């Protein structure tokens, strides 16, 4: 089937050149990663970064993640440490973001980091974003390609629907395998997780050989920790047991198989599969015109911790 969006392109050498030309000129482009689609622009260009904030309607106080091909490029901008080296070796490229101290001579525009003295850095794994990052001599500031506080896109079409014709280029890299955003870990002092993801606290602790405290600070340390976030725009109520007879009901497992209005995150009760289906199902339910979403209990372990984090934030109105 031919896609009906003239700004969605398949990836090849010719379009890669076009993407790089656009990025060199300060444009922002919709790009696939293994977690969710991003809205990428040159992190060294004020014009490009301002465009990202404007398109998303993102508050200037919410910093962006800076994406690199590898750590050799990142060390020009951030101070790395032993914990970083261990985690990088084990998990990168992959779905993890590190908060590190910014170097004084870093070329990253200060608006990228909301004027903090720290930078969020990530090394994505998806072959398309990597082939672009490894060809350019600046990193990409790249938030998820959705309007501020709504659901992250997991398909090129989701990005097109979100920004319409505003974006000249969206690269189709298929459906994002992971489907929720990267784990964010602060490494500027004792390591702590600011946003849970598929790379779990447990697996990080194993590599670092330490136990991390739960991030219970009242103060918002990562704006993705803002209460309302990842919202599909209709009320969501979580930890539900009883179906109300009219809402869409999201659950985990196969208990309500083939029942109308019931949507399973994973019929095999696999938490990674559930994460990859979460935003897809949010969008589907919204499109079908339901007025409300009920969500059953999701096991709060491994990737379930990240899923519960997202649905809890989505449920705040």
Taking CB atoms, the residue at the shortest distance from ligand TXA is: 224
Pick from 63, 173, 232, 296 the residue near ligand TXA by CB under 6 A.
63
Angle in degrees, 0-180, between the axes of helices 201-208 and 82-91, rounded to the nearest 10: 120
**According to the binding rule CB under 6 A, does residue 142 interact with ligand TXA?**
yes
Nearest distance in Å: CB 152, Mg ion? 5
State how far the alpha carbon of 83 is from the alpha carbons of 57, 93, 100, 213, in Å.
34, 16, 11, 16
Dihedral of CA 170/171/172/176: which sign?
A: negative
**According to the binding rule CB under 6 A, does residue 187 interact with ligand TXA?**
no
Using alpha carbons, select from 133, 132, 160 the residue that is nearest to residue 146. 160
Give the number of other Cβ atoms within 10 Å of residue 189's Cβ.
8
Nearest distance in Å: CB 159, ligand TXA? 11
Q: Quote the tokens at residue 96.
A: 């993890």
**According to the binding rule CB under 6 A, does residue 97 interact with ligand TXA?**
yes
* Element spanning 285, H or E: helix 271-287
Quick one: 62 or 261, whose CB is closer to ligand TXA?
62
CB 182 within 8 A of CB 96: yes
**According to the binding rule CB under 6 A, does residue 118 interact with ligand TXA?**
yes
Q: Quote the tokens at residue 9.
A: 């392109």
Pick from 41, 94, 143, 304 the residue near ligand TXA by CB under 6 A.
143
Mark 223-242 with x for binding to ligand TXA (rule: CB under 6 A) and - for no binding: xx------------------
Pick from 19, 36, 74, 132 the residue near ligand TXA by CB under 6 A.
36
Quick one: 113 or 132, whose CB is closer to ligand TXA?
113
Dihedral of CA 67/73/76/80: which sign?
A: positive
Partner from Mg ion, ligand TXA, none contacting 118, C-beta within 5 to 8 A by type: ligand TXA
**According to the binding rule CB under 6 A, does residue 269 interact with ligand TXA?**
no
Nearest distance in Å: CB 261, ligand TXA? 30
Mark the segment that binds ligand TXA (CB under 6 A) among 62-70, 80-88, 249-257, 265-273: 62-70
What pairing do the DSSP bridges indicate for beta strands 29-31 and 38-42?
antiparallel
**According to the binding rule CB under 6 A, does residue 182 interact with ligand TXA?**
yes
Q: How many CA atoms lie within 13 A of 259 on its CB side?
A: 18
Site size for ligand TXA (CB under 6 A): 28
Cα separation, 198 vs 180, in Å, equals 8
Taking CB atoms, the residue at the shortest distance from Mg ion is: 144
**According to the binding rule CB under 6 A, does residue 303 interact with ligand TXA?**
no
Instruction: Classify 264 as helix, strand or coil.
Output: strand
Rg (CA), the chain: 19
What are the residues binding ligand TXA (CB under 6 A)?
Answer: 33, 35-36, 38, 62-65, 97, 99, 113, 116, 118-120, 122, 124, 142-144, 181-182, 184, 194-195, 222-224
């Amino acid at each position: 089937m031919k896609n009906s969006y003239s700004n969605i392109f398949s990836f090849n050498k010719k379009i890669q050149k076009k993407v790089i030309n656009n990025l060199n000129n300060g444009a922002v482009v919709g790009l696939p990663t293994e977690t969710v689609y991003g809205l990428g622009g040159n992190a060294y260009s004020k014009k490009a970064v301002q465009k990202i904030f404007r398109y998303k309607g993102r508050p200037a106080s919410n910093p962006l993640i800076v994406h690199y091909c590898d750590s050799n490029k990142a060390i020009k901008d951030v101070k790395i440490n032993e914990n970083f080296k261990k985690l990088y070796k084990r998990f990168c490229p992959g779905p993890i973001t590190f908060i590190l101290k910014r170097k004084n001579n870093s070329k990253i525009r200060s608006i990228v980091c909301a004027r903090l003295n720290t930078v969020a850095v990530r090394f994505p794994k998806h072959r398309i974003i990597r082939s672009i990052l490894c060809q350019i001599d600046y990193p990409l500031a790249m938030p998820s390609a959705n309007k501020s506080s709504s659901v992250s896109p997991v398909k090129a079409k989701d990005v097109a629907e979100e920004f319409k014709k505003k974006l000249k280029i969206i690269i189709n890299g298929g459906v994002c395998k992971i489907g929720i955003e990267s784990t964010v870990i602060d490494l500027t002092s004792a390591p702590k997780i600011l946003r849970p993801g598929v790379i779990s606290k447990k697996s990080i602790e194993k590599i670092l050989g330490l136990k991390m405290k739960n991030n219970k600070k009242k103060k918002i340390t990562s704006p993705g920790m803002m209460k309302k976030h990842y919202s599909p725009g209709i009320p969501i109520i979580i930890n539900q047991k009883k179906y109300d007879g009219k809402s869409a009901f999201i659950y985990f497992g196969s208990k309500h198989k083939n029942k109308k209005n019931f949507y399973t995150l994973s019929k095999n009760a696999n938490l990674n599969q559930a994460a990859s289906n979460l935003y897809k199902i949010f969008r589907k339910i919204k499109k079908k015109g339901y007025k409300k979403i009920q969500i059953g209990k999701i096991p709060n372990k491994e990737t379930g911790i990240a899923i519960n984090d997202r649905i809890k934030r989505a449920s705040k109105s």
